[in-house]
Amino acid sequence: MKQKTVAPSIGILLSLSILHGLNDALQSAVSASYPLLKNDLMLSFSQIGLITLTYQISASVFQPVIGFLYDKRPYVWSLPMGTCFTLAGIISLAFTTTMFWTMCSVFMVGIGSSTLHPEASRLTSIASGGKRGFAQSLFQVGGNLGGALGPLLVAFLAAPYGRQYISFFAILSVIAIVVAIPVCRWYKNRLQIFREEKTTMKVRMESPLPTKTVVCSIAILLLLIFSKYVYVASLSSYYTFYLIEKFNVEIQDSQIYLFVFLGATAIGTLMGGPIGDKIGRKYVIWASILGAAPFTLLMPHVNLFWTVVLSFFIGLIISSAFPAILLYAQELLPYKLGLVSGLFFGFAFGIAGIASAILGKMADIHGIEIIYHICAYMPLLGIITWFLPNLKKK
């Protein structure tokens, strides 16, 4: 049955984008606090990588599970429930004194992320009114802006005064809970409408491709996520250390340079979805991942100024891939929105965590600069986008 076209629920989409921004601001504050944790607890790069792995596992493994469960049995109040885990984790991180305590803290923050991403992405699709590229980009850009805000909060509130000031970030969690309440009420009304219609997404939508093609396409998309997030992990987890070690910048300055990269990812994300609506997701994915390769290959060989400039263009180009990849996957399996969203968000987080742990070990053995020489080649995997079918034509 052809789906009825309705206007997007702009208020709900904006609320979901704000929720994503608040969540990712707290998530990025975790990685931005690594230099403070390293100094306070005398951690090695390997231990930093292990902390990241712990966080990413809790923020990845549970995402497809939660998405699958809520596909089967929706729970209206899942968003504020997940935010409560983030609230507890952030407060705990501010006062941790041991490695184990730190790992437990980031684990709780990760659980909050595991709940928000698949559920909020599902609600974004429901509220899109058919303009899914616009809706998903608006949702994603909220996360990117929040992710860019986290390091600035750490730079200006925690770095000068002490790690304990991270506890003030819990205010963002409280705001997120308040913002989530009207969204949950709207979702409750939508579920009631669905029940009254006695229909499901699976009845109204079918995959546009045969099962074998869908499976192969999902595998290619996951490989593209792998290439993107291995490189992104090198920047989000170790970029500040790279700048400090190679160019002798201050911790506070390194956080500002990280903000330049993260701010560029917000702009790129906002562009990726609408462009994909017009020209097709495949072409956006192709240009986004493979197009970043010249800049990543050049960055390890330039001075501080050009490093910051290149990081801006890398963030701008490579960030437009994820909305296009996620929407492409959702169009392959339109009746499994929660599962697909959880799988791709979770896989992205998981790959970033594993990569961070491995890269941290490499940095301990060979130095921090080796990370950027090796990871620079990851965007070249974007060439496999050639094998994706063109859903624009379908």
Whole-angstrom distance, CA of residue 106 vs CA of residue 54: 7
DSSP one-letter code for 209: S
Quote the pLDDT of residue 206.
61
Helix (H) or strand (E) holding 332: helix 321-332
In the chain, the domains with their CATH numbers are 10-387 (1.20.1250.20)
The CA–CA distances, whole Å, from 180 to 20, 135, 273 equal 10, 17, 24
Tell me which range, 228-242, 293-307, 345-359, 362-376, is most confidently predicted by mean pLDDT: 293-307
Q: Which residues are CB-neighbours of 59 under 8 A, at least 6 positions away?
A: 27, 109, 110, 111, 113, 114, 346, 349, 353
Q: Is 75 exposed, middle or buried (0-12, 13-18, 19+ CB in 10 A)?
A: middle
pLDDT of 335-354, one tens digit each? 777 778 778 877 876 777 67
Residues 87-93 have a mean pLDDT of: 91
Q: Is the pLDDT of residue 8 over 70?
A: no
Q: Is the pLDDT of residue 5 over 60?
A: no
Which has the higher per-residue pLDDT, 161 or 310? Answer: 310
Quote the pLDDT of residue 337.
74
Whole-angstrom distance, CA of residue 330 vs CA of residue 116: 17
Residues 74-80 have a mean pLDDT of: 86
pLDDT band at 207 (very low <50, low <70, confident <90, very high): low
In the block, residue with structure tokens 């993107």: 228
pLDDT band at 1 (very low <50, low <70, confident <90, very high): very low
Which one-letter amino acid corresponds to residue 208?
A: P
**SS3 (DSSP) at 196:** helix
In the block, residue with structure tokens 């595998």: 219
* Nearest residue to 185 via CA among 123, 128, 117: 123
pLDDT band at 197 (very low <50, low <70, confident <90, very high): low
Q: Is the pLDDT of residue 291 over 50?
A: yes
Structure token digits, residue 59:
């923020």
CA angle 102–104–106, rounded 5-degree value: 70
pLDDT band at 205 (very low <50, low <70, confident <90, very high): low
State the CB neighbour count (10 A cutoff) for residue 4: 8
pLDDT of 239-278, one tens digit each? 888 999 999 998 778 878 988 887 788 788 778 777 777 7
Q: Which residues are CB-neighbours of 365 under 8 A, at least 6 positions away?
A: none
Quote the pLDDT of residue 203.
44
Which has the higher per-residue pLDDT, 156 or 176? Answer: 176
Residues 359-385 have a mean pLDDT of: 89
pLDDT of 16-54, one tens digit each? 999 999 998 888 788 778 888 888 888 887 888 788 778
Whole-angstrom distance, CA of residue 363 vs CA of residue 385: 31
Whole-angstrom distance, CA of residue 74 vs CA of residue 84: 19
* Nearest residue to 114 via CA among 139, 151, 86: 86
Handedness of CA 208, 210, 213, 218 (dihedral sign): positive
Report the predicted TM-score, pTM, of the whole model to 2 decimal places.
0.69
Residues 147-173 have a mean pLDDT of: 81
Kindly report which listed range (7-21, 132-146, 181-195, 277-291) carries the lowest average pLDDT score.
Answer: 132-146
pLDDT band at 165 (very low <50, low <70, confident <90, very high): confident
Q: Is the pLDDT of residue 178 over 90?
A: yes
Whole-angstrom distance, CA of residue 136 vs CA of residue 270: 9
The CA–CA distances, whole Å, from 320 to 202, 270, 284, 316 equal 28, 7, 7, 7
- Transcribe 62-116 into DSSP letters: HHHHHHHHHHHS--TTHHHHHHHHHHHHHHHHHH--SHHHHHHHHHHHHHHHHHH
Q: Is the pLDDT of residue 314 over 60?
A: yes
Whole-angstrom distance, CA of residue 391 vs CA of residue 394: 5
Residues 275-285 have a mean pLDDT of: 81
Residues 70-98 have a mean pLDDT of: 87
**SS3 (DSSP) at 193:** helix
